């Protein structure tokens, strides 16, 4: 089995409690900081992680406390973040991607999670199987890192 080698990677498992959302966001952004992102790039990463972790807590597990896995990988000038759960899955991924769509209207949620993530990240992949869970993979290219590398080469 050929395992992909990254420049660096980290794995985190948290309980699906809303109090852990900030911990996940801060942990991933601290890991991403080694790429020397701009404050805006770091904010984009934090927001995307926050949206996806919150989706897992609210939609995948409802009220049960289960595990959310976060795997972050750095390669060259980008960070890839996989967030997965073993919750109920997404019935219709294309519908879930539409702005303002939500299955929890009673919680006064905006239904903008995936739209926000697509805006702030360079890539977004959603994989889900009903009854087995969901894996979200998102990638952010750190442009500040590219500029710093060019400056150091000259």
- Annotated catalytic, 109? yes
Q: Kindly name the residue from 20, 25, 41, 55 that is annotated as catalytic.
A: 55
Q: Which of 80, 74, 41, 69 is nearest to 134 (CA)?
A: 69
| Contact yes or no for 89/132 (Cβ under 8 A) | yes
Residue in 83, 79, 99, 94 with CA at minimum distance from that of residue 137:
83
Q: Among 20, 21, 41, 51, which one carries the catalytic annotation? A: 51
Let me know: does 136 contact 90? Beta carbons within 8 Å: no
CB atoms within 10 A of CB 103: 16
DSSP 152: H
Q: Is there a catalytic annotation at residue 144? A: no
Q: Does residue 51 have an active-site annotation?
A: yes
- Closest to 48 in 3D by CA, of 93, 110, 97, 115: 115
Among candidate residues 109, 118, 144, 146, the one labeled active-site is 109
User: Residue 46 is encoded by which pair of tokens?
Assistant: 């934090």
Q: Which amino acids are annotated catalytic?
A: 51, 55, 109
């Amino acid at each position: 089995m050929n395992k992909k080698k990254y420049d660096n990677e980290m794995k985190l498992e948290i309980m699906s409690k809303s109090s852990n959302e900030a911990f996940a966001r801060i942990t991933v952004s601290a890991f991403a900081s080694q790429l020397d992102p701009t404050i805006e790039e770091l904010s984009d990463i934090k927001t995307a992680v926050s949206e996806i972790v919150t989706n897992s807590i609210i939609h995948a597990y409802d009220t049960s406390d289960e595990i959310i896995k976060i795997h972050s990988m750095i390669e060259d000038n980008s960070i890839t973040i996989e967030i997965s759960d073993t919750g109920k899955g997404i019935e219709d991924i294309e519908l879930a991607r539409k702005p303002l769509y939500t299955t929890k209207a009673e919680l006064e949620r905006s239904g903008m999670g995936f739209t926000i993530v697509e805006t702030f990240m360079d890539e977004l992949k959603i994989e889900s199987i009903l009854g087995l869970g969901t894996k979200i993979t998102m990638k952010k290219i750190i442009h500040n890192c590219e500029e710093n590398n060019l400056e150091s080469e000259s």
